[in-house]
Structure 1
């Protein structure tokens, strides 16, 4: 599933191409994605796309007109919330581009400077979602119970400490909880814990202040580095131009089972894989020693 960097990369591509453009036409596949499409989505035709942004692992397309009507009357406007699921891609292309059998959403825009462009959402497994939400979207699930975003000012050391307080869950599991910190997934949690020298199984509530400070310090730069590299392409991810990301070439532990630690030399070890909550966890048992929290060292 795309994590924060991959969603941020896609969002930036859509924003650069279509923010300020007018939705001229849209095509929605007959079967929907994870959920059926809201038929009112077609009433967005003719509206100006005022803003493109990311919220957690969703891309939000904020349209300016308060239509379509809702039973409660007009609101502050409507947004399309796009989730790319396990295998989804958002591609910016031309309006005469050929469509494939897995292209379930097609949005044609008239650009402010003239001309047209097309946004195509491709999802072979249909695990993604496109939902029509009345703003403020923060009042709708799943946005009404989110933790702080690591790329926003609200992600503070104090906020991370609050999320960990009293939680016996392994720190890796807690960081995957979108109610604790949004946007993180398996790849970047493994990478962040390695950079912070924290064992993935350490109970969150046992992290010392120095560990919390280190973990808080490494997460935002890690994510920014991944965004700059276009995200990680392990299988399906690609930018809106169709190009794969390159951050997988910079992974220090994820997917490197059996390879030597990137820190090199003694006393650094070999990357190991273990399973936590059904997911593979990669770590260096030398750089991230287990059990140190139990000894209080």
Structure 2
């Protein structure tokens, strides 16, 4: 009897130990799960930040879109109100139909006006104006006979790329002359001049960037009658470049006799003509347009003309 009781007690103790052992292993596995020790990934943090920024950007874009729609709605509402007022005016007025249409046109023209009233420009006055709406034109009469036309742009400004400038001189003295702002490829300067002195060196003109004496020369040209040649060169930063010259035949320039000289500007360079004959080409050495022309040397200039 005692033996049986002892064996039963031992069996109960062993059973409890098995249960405690299972519980120990189960709790240990949960407590030390490997995922608890995985370090945070920097890439995941970056993705999170980018996602948050994208969400904020989307919100701002939506708000901006709403603002645009609101502005459009306000404009459309104003147009609707204006149309209503115009219709009401037409219905209420007792004026003839032509007068009614005239009133409507005046209202519409007033709305369409975007450019300021054209004012006189230096060396010119308003000749004719077709309005102040987009596409309208204003014409100016320059004192030198040149006519200019400006167009009203959608930006609310006149397309005033050119201004009245003197383009013809009678018996101009030697010196510096400003070229029109529109002087560019296709433009030309023509002189009628009379050489004097020995004819060893008669400088005709220089095309320059500005009117300063030491300014760069885009084209320096001098006629040398005795060696019968026209020398071409340029000057940059105070230094002359390589001379270009050619002995020409026939050479129709003589001391005491007037001659006609024309310099034409194009995209490649300058072309020189004497009494209508093509005498030289001079390629651009500086990618700039001349702003001044200088007359100097042993000559008397009878006239000078600028062709735009």
Q: Verify same fold: TM over 0.5.
A: no
- TM-score, structure 2 as length reference: 0.22
| Greater fraction of residues in strand | 2
- TM-score, structure 1 as length reference: 0.22
- Larger RCO: 1 or 2 (CA < 8 Å, sep 6+): 1
Q: Give the structure with higher Rg (CA).
A: 2
